[in-house]
């Protein structure tokens, strides 16, 4: 086995390559002999013989490619494309010889050959509206060149030349249009390059044979002839290769996005990456422990705050410490405990009213992602009273400094205390959407493990896996900075060392504090470097079936990482080495796979399933459409997927009951 550029070269492929090279050399040698013999004014029979051998060379090469590639790689393959391509080359082979004896007739046979080529391209990809546009885009300039070429001496041939230019222009236009479809990439570009060279060679033929020799010197015409023949034969060699490629790749429609959309996504992501250093990201300042909050409030001269939280936190007594330290320092507070798991506009307006009625001067969010998200938008509504919540939807619609906002996470996962995002649900329309603005980043964050000691196991595990997902998706994406890389690595290390410990030993203070840090670091990483398809899919499952966010991520993460395959190996291996999941002497493939296995192991140990019983085949289309529009073009994922490919991932998540 030989390995070349990631392609495994076995004996069959090696032989195939060598014979193709031999054919190509033969064609080019006789191409050269033909031209030199012609220019040396040898007898016609000599140089025509050379020409016949050269042209027969590419026809035989095509025949060989079809037969050999069918026998060796793909016996069942029978697509009319290859036979039309071969027929076209046979016709131009005949035209080549006729041309030497009767130019007009030769040109007509050539034109017929081009029509057969054109037909083969329509077999490869059936007609589309854009075909017409591209055919005109290439053929009109070709026709204009014929009309406006100042040294043209065409005589009776003028109309034939116009028709010819139109045909070859259309041919190259259709070949170009095919490159925008999802034909195997290697095949479609091979065809296009071959055809483009053919087209250019024909234009050179025009200059060589129909230039007024009284004005243009013979030396210049010889240059045209050289250019013509040294484009013509290589173009036919490339086209002969295309038939073999068609068999080997089975005309494989590559799955997924068209090249146009792919390019759009990558350019979009690149723009964000370039803009990243210019964007006003900031990190919340850390306050050590709830008891240190009053000092910050004094410093900011704030006498009254609203605490945004939920009833279960109050009932569990998680807010008591905060209440006591505020009371002891004579700071007034009111409590809004109406936060619901998916914060709604009603909640926002209630809390805002409470803030205004009590003349509060700052906001403290105490809870999981929901309380923090709610508090962010309450702050936004206070500084933007005339802008409704739906008007804030999307990116950068707030741009106004919020009142002092202190976030105290009580779960270790969302990282919401560091991010620019808040996810809001409109209870009247059931529409769930993110609001993103730099001003939503809380000013302070309190990472206090004591608040997480009572977190039930199911929440410890799934919120922890959410933090891991943030770190992994930020790390394997393409919009990384040295800082986000470091933060993601730190988060993964901390999850590796502390999450399971928190699960089995929930009151371990060190492990709990470390998980809060992991979540915080992962938050810093993903707010700049984004997440990926794991989150896009998780959000759709949350919207459709109410599957909790962390649980969804935990289940989806290993499935999507497997799907990315070798494209993500290098970065996953990096994480595996850093987190001591693989040793540095293990190669990238093994290390990356160990990382994925480690996630599966963690899930299994913490009773997280590998699939969902809720997912129904009939919902997949709708959900994959949502995930597609959330993920693309924004998320800088290692491999781009469209709706169909995402649908396949959903299918892998369906529980198959026995
Ligand atoms: Zn998340």
Mean local confidence (pLDDT), 21-45 = 93
Q: Is the pLDDT confidence value at 595 over 50?
A: yes
How many residues would you count in the chain?
658
Distance 466 CA to ligand 1 centre (A): 5
350 alpha carbon to ligand 1 midpoint, in Å? Answer: 26
**413 CA to centre of ligand 1 in angstroms:** 7
Q: What is the pLDDT of residue 136?
A: 96
Nearest to 246 by CA among 123, 15, 81, 88: 81
Neighbours of 517 (CB within 10 A): 19
CA–centroid distance, 576 to ligand 1, in Å, is: 21
- pLDDT band at 521; cut points 50, 70, 90: very high
Provide the token pair at 584.
Answer: 């540095």
How far is CA 259 from its chain centroid?
11
Question: Ligand 1 centre from 598 Cα, in Å?
Answer: 19
Section 110-134 average pLDDT? 92
121 CA → ligand 1 middle, Å: 46
Distance 305 CA to ligand 1 centre (A): 28
d(CA 596, ligand 1 centre) in Å: 18
β-sheet bridge partners, residue 423? 434
> At 362, phi and psi to the nearest 5?
-160, 165
Q: Per-residue pLDDT for 543 more than 60?
A: yes
Inter-helix orientation angle 158-179/185-210, to 10°: 160
C-alpha 459 – ligand 1 centre gap (Å)? 13
**Distance from residue 518's CA to the centre of ligand 1 (Å):** 13
Take residue 415 and report the two structure tokens written for it. Answer: 């990282």
Give residue-wise pLDDT tens across range 235-255. 999 999 999 888 887 766 666
Indicate if the pLDDT at residue 7 is higher than 60.
no
Q: What is the 3-state secondary structure (H, E, C) of 172-208?
A: HHHHHHHHCCCECHHHHHHHHHHHHHHHHHHHHHHHH
Tell me how far the alpha carbon of residue 535 lies from the centroid of ligand 1, in angstroms: 6
* CB-CB contact of 440 with 420 (8 Å): yes
CA of 613 from ligand 1 middle (Å) equals 21
Question: What is the structure's pLDDT at 3?
Answer: 46
Question: Residue 515 C-alpha to ligand 1 middle, in angstroms?
Answer: 15
pLDDT at 214: 82
Beta-carbon contacts of 115 under 8 Å, excluding residues fewer than 6 positions away, are 167
What mean pLDDT is predicted for residues 226-230?
92
Cα dist from 243 to 16, 25, 228, whole Å:
13, 18, 23
| More confident: 460 or 289 | 460
Q: Rounded distance, CA 536 to CA 284, Å?
A: 26
Q: What is the pLDDT of residue 482?
A: 95
Å from CA of 223 to ligand 1 middle: 64
Give the distance (Å) from ligand 1 centre to CA of residue 574: 22
pLDDT at 426: 80
Q: Which residue blocks in 40-79 are alpha helix, DSSP H?
A: 44-72
Beta pairing partners, 365: 308, 407
Specify the DSSP class assigned to residue 523: H
What is residue 1's predicted lDDT score, i.e. its pLDDT?
40
- How much distance in Å is there from the Cα of 436 to the middle of ligand 1? 15
Contact 546, 299 (CB under 8 A): no
Q: Which is more confident, 256 or 210? A: 210
Q: Distance from the CA of 616 to the center of ligand 1, in angstroms?
A: 23
- Other C-beta atoms closer than 10 Å to the C-beta of 612 total 18
DSSP string computed for 85-139: HHHHHHHHHHHHHHHHH-HHHHHHHHHHHHHHHHHHHHHHS---HHHHHHHHHHH
d(C-alpha 287, C-alpha 446), whole Å: 5
State the distance between the two ends of the chain, measured CA to CA, in whole angstroms: 42
Residue 181 confidence (pLDDT) = 83
> Please, what is the average pLDDT of the chain?
92
Pairing of strands 362-367, 304-308: parallel
Name the strand (E) or helix (H) holding 435: strand 431-436
d(CA 397, CA 387): 9
CA of 345 to the centre of ligand 1 (A): 21
* Ligand 1 center–CA 409 separation, angstroms: 14
Lowest mean pLDDT among 337-341, 431-435, 584-588, 650-654: 431-435
| Alpha-carbon gap, residue 99 to 611, rounded angstroms | 68
For residue 426, the SS3 value is strand
Residue 645, SS3 per DSSP: helix
* Residue 389 alpha carbon to ligand 1 centre in Å: 22
The Å distance, Cα 516 to ligand 1 centre, comes to 14
468 CA to centre of ligand 1 in angstroms: 9
**Residue 222 has which token pair?**
């010889």
- Going from the Cα of 549 to the center of ligand 1, the distance in angstroms, rounded, reads 7
**Confidence band, pLDDT 50/70/90 cuts, at residue 658:** low
The structure tokens listed for 81 are 């494309």
Give the closest residue to 420 by CA, choosing from 469, 381, 372.
372
Distance (angstroms) between ligand 1 centre and the Cα of 464 equals 10
Distance from Cα 453 to the centre of ligand 1, integer Å: 21
Task: Report the C-alpha gap between 366 and 373 in whole angstroms.
Answer: 11
Distance CA 382, CA 355 (A): 8
Q: What is the pLDDT of residue 2?
A: 45
Q: 410 phi and psi, to 5 degrees?
A: -110, 0
Rounded to the nearest angstrom, the distance between the alpha carbon of 414 and the centre of ligand 1 is 6
Q: Which of 333, 335, 397, 398 is nearest to 371 (CA)?
A: 335
pLDDT of residue 4: 45
Please check the confidence at residue 564 and state whether its pLDDT lies above 70.
Answer: yes
pTM flag (> 0.85) = no
Give the whole-angstrom CA distance, residue 463 versus residue 553.
Answer: 9
* Side-by-side strand order, sheet with 394-395: 394-395, 431-436, 421-426
- pLDDT at 424 (0 to 100): 87
Ligand 1 centroid, distance to 630 Cα (angstroms): 14
* Model pLDDT, residue 255: 65
Which residue in 57, 35, 59 sits closest to 46, CA to CA? 35
Ligand 1 midpoint to CA 213 (Å): 74
Does 182 score more than 90 pLDDT?
A: no
User: Ligand 1: distance of its center to the CA of 551 in Å?
Assistant: 10
Task: Calculate how far, in angstroms, residue 640's C-alpha sits from the geometric centre of ligand 1.
Answer: 20
From 13-27, 237-251, 305-319, 361-375, the region with the lowest mean pLDDT: 237-251
pLDDT of residue 6: 41
- Identify the bridge partners of residue 4 per DSSP, sorted by sequence position: 7
C-alpha 399 – ligand 1 centre gap (Å): 24
pLDDT digit string, tens, across residues 144-169: 999 998 888 878 788 888 999 999 99
Distance 558 CA to ligand 1 centre (A): 15
Residues 81-95: tens digit of each pLDDT: 999 999 999 999 999
Residue with token string 């992962």: 522
DSSP string, 327-364: HHTT-EEEEE-B--SS-BHHHHHHHHHHHHHTT--EEE
607-630 pLDDT per residue, tens: 999 999 999 999 999 999 999 988
Q: Residue 320 C-alpha to ligand 1 middle, in angstroms?
A: 28
């Amino acid at each position: 086995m030989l390995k070349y550029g990631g392609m495994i070269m076995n004996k069959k492929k090696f032989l195939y390559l060598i014979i193709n090279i031999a054919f190509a050399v033969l064609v080019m040698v006789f191409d050269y002999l033909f031209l030199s013999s012609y220019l040396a004014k040898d007898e016609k029979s000599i140089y025509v013989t050379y020409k016949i051998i050269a042209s027969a060379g590419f026809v035989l090469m095509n025949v060989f490619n079809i037969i050999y590639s069918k026998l060796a790689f793909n016996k069942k393959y029978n697509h009319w494309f290859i036979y039309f391509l071969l027929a076209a080359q046979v016709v131009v082979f005949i035209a080549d010889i006729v041309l030497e004896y009767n130019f007009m007739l030769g040109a007509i046979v050539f034109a017929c050959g081009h029509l057969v080529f054109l037909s083969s391209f329509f077999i490869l990809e059936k007609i589309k509206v854009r075909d017409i546009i591209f055919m005109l885009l290439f053929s009109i300039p070709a026709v204009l060149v014929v009309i406006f070429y100042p040294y043209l001496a065409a005589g009776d041939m003028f109309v034939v030349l116009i028709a010819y230019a139109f045909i070859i222009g259309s041919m190259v236009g259709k070949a170009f249009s095919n490159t925008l479809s999802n034909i195997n990439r290697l095949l479609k570009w091979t065809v296009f390059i071959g055809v483009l060279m053919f087209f250019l060679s024909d234009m050179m033929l025009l200059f060589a044979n129909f230039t007024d020799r009284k004005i243009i010197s013979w030396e210049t015409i010889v240059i045209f002839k050289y250019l013509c023949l040294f484009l013509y034969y290589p173009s036919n060699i490339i086209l002969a290769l295309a038939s073999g490629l068609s068999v080997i790749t089975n005309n494989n429609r590559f799955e997924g996005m068209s090249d146009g959309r792919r390019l759009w996504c990558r350019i979009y992501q690149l723009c964000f990456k370039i803009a990243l250093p210019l964007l006003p990201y900031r990190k919340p300042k850390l306050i050590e422990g709830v008891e240190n909050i009053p000092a910050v409030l004094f410093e900011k001269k704030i006498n009254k705050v609203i605490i945004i939280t939920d009833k279960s936190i109050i009932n569990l007594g998680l807010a008591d410490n905060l209440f006591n330290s505020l009371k002891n320092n004579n700071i007034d507070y009111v409590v809004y405990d109406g936060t619901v798991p998916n914060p709604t506009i009603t909640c926002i307006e209630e809390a805002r009213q409470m803030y205004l009625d009590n003349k509060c001067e700052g906001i403290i969010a105490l809870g999981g992602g929901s309380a923090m998200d709610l508090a962010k938008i309450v702050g936004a509504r206070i500084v933007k009273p005339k802008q409704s919540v739906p008007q804030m939807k999307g990116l950068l619609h707030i741009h106004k400094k919020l009142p002092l906002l202190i976030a105290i996470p009580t779960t270790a996962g969302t990282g919401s205390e560091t991010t620019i995002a808040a996810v809001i649900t409109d209870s009247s329309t059931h529409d769930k959407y993110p609001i993103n603005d730099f001003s939503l980043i809380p000013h302070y964050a309190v990472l206090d493990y004591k608040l997480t000691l009572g977190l039930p196991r199911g929440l410890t595990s799934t919120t922890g896996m959410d933090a891991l997902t943030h770190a992994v998706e930020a790390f394997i994406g393409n919009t990384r900075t040295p800082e986000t890389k470091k933060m993601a690595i730190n988060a993964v290390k901390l999850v590796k060392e502390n999450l399971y410990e928190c699960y089995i030993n929930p009151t371990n203070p060190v492990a709990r504090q470390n998980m809060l840090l992991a979540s915080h670091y992962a938050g810093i990483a993903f707010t700049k470097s984004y997440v990926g398809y794991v989150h896009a899919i998780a959000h759709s499952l949350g919207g459709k079936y109410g599957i909790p966010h962390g649980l969804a991520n935990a289940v989806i993460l290993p499935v999507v990482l497997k799907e990315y395959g070798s494209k993500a190996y290098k970065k996953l291996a990096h994480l595996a080495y850093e987190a001591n999941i693989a040793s540095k002497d293990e190669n990238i493939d093994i290390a990356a796979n160990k990382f994925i296995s480690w996630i599966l192991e963690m899930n299994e140990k913490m009773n997280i399933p590998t699939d969902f019983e809720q997912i129904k085949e009939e919902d997949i289309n709708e959900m994959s459409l949502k995930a597609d529009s959330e993920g693309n073009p924004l998320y800088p994922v290692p491999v781009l997927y469209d709706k169909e490919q995402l649908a396949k991932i959903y299918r892998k998540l369906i529980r198959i009951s026995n």
